[in-house]
Each structure stands twice: as C-alpha cells, then as structure tokens.
Amino acid sequence: MRPGDIAGLIKPSQTLLLMVTAYCSYLAAGGRSPLDVVVLTAAEALAISGTTAANMYLERDIDALMPRTSRRPLPSGSVSPAAAVAISTSMFLSSVVVASLRSGALALTILVGFISDILIYTNIVKRVTPYSVVLGGIAGAMPALGGWALAEGFTPGGILLSAVVLAWIPMHIWFIATYYLDDYRMAAVPMLPVIRGPSYAARYTEYSTAAIPALAWAYYAIEHRGVLAAIVATVLAAVAVKRAEDFRRTPSRDAALGMFKMASPLIAVVFVLEAIEGLLGLP
C-alpha cells in the first residue's frame, strides 16, 4: 500500500479544514494550553481521518459507479476493504483514547461525530432522503464543538460556532453535487439537486447560508467578542446568497463549481477571525 493510497482514503484537505474549525474554536474559547493543542491535533486528525476511511469503506459500491470517485483506493482496488476497516478502526479508537485521557467532553464530540456520520448519515439517510446533509452535517460540526469543549466545556458559544459549520454544510455539499449531477444520478444517490433540481437546492442553500451571519451575531451577543468575524460573515454570506440567487435563475455547472470553491474559504475566514479576536481579547 502506497502513501498516496492512504491519503486517498482519509482526504487530507477535508481533514485539515475541519481541524481549522477545531483549533479556531479552541482559541476563541480562551484555550491556551500547548498540551491541549497537541491532544486536539492528535485526537481530531485521527478521528476525522478514521471516520472518513469508514465512510469510504461503506460507500465503495457508490464510488465504483461514479466516474469522479471510481479511482479512489477502494473501488480501484489499491486498498482492500479489510485494510480500510483496519485503518479506520485503529485511527478512530486511538482518537477516542487520546481524547479521553485529556477531556471527556472532547471524546464525546468525537463519538457523536462518528455515530452521526457513519451509523446515521452514511448507512441510512444518504441513500434514502434528499435532505440527508441536514443530519450528516452534525458530524462536520463536531470538531468545532470539540475544540470549544476542550477549553470551556459545553457552553452556548461553542454550540453557536458548531451551528455555523452546520449552516455552511449545504453550500459545501449541494453545489459539488450539482457539478457532478450525472454521477449522482448514475449511482442513484438521492441528493437534493438530483431529486428536486439544482435551482431548488440553491434556494435552500440561500436560507442556510443566510443563517451563518445570524449565528455569528448571536455568538457576539452572548460572548461579547467576535464583532469583526460577524461583520465579515455578514458580507461574505451576502455575496454567497446573491451568487446562489443568480445560480438559481440560470444554473450551470461552472457556476456550481464556483459556489463550491467559495464555500471553504468562507468558513475558514470566519473561524480564523473568531480565533484572532479570542486571542486578542477583542470585543
């Protein structure tokens, strides 16, 4: 098994983005311990990578049917199903052990993320309902909640920051599903753009994206910091909603890809600003 096969199994870029939300939430909550950062890094990297590998194992039949995913390690045969299970299991269990040694709250978020992603989203709802990302998004929100919980426990600020990720998920998922619409149709995956059409999905993306600044302002109201992040979130969300509205009127693959590419920088900027304001003690 080559290093590239492992990378294909755990999606490093996706792992890194979710870890950014974990780090930033930890710093925004006032966390400053170097040991915490080491634990957070190890626990979240192992948890996210292990969960992604489990997802790859469970979706290997779908991946084999879609041209864009058919060259992934499992459908291409470069990694065996047994090896994928072994890698996923060892990573995930290691993450729980590492987290538990430092913080029961962090370990709980890791468990919730795994259960919501693997047992609920991947195994059940993704194959039966076009609104699957609503439940699947819970897993994506757990690293942010875990970072906050490591520093401060389960308090409203952490719940709001994790809700920002939850509100961002539809933009991230539904536009890439629109770009690869034919692939999802071929694999009979009932994503919202497939079942109801790209314009319908874009409308609901507008609603969820508009919730991002509302949640950022609610965070500011409760925590008395994060005003710059809330302002920037408002501007970026307004641009994203306008572009989604334009897409809804004249949908195209290129526009869908542009919306998808906008999603990751949007969430990263908001969280980095929350972290900076937390570090500097800005209101």
Contact, 205 vs 178, CB < 8 A? no
Residue 191 φ/ψ, nearest 5 degrees: -65, 150
Q: Of all residues in the chain, what percent carry a pLDDT higher than 90?
A: 95
Give the pLDDT of residue 283.
Answer: 65
Domains of the chain from N-terminus onward: 3-280 (1.10.357.140)
Predicted TM-score of the model (pTM): 0.96
The CA distance from 148 to 154, in Å, is 8
One-letter amino acid of 174: W
pLDDT 10s digits, 16-39: 999 999 999 999 999 999 999 999
pLDDT 10s digits, 227-273: 999 999 999 999 999 999 999 999 999 999 999 999 999 999 999 99
Extended strands (E) in the chain: none
pLDDT 10s digits, 65-98: 999 999 999 999 999 999 999 999 999 999 999 9
**Quick one: average pLDDT of 128-146?**
94
pLDDT 10s digits, 175-225: 999 999 999 999 999 999 999 999 999 999 999 999 999 999 999 999 999
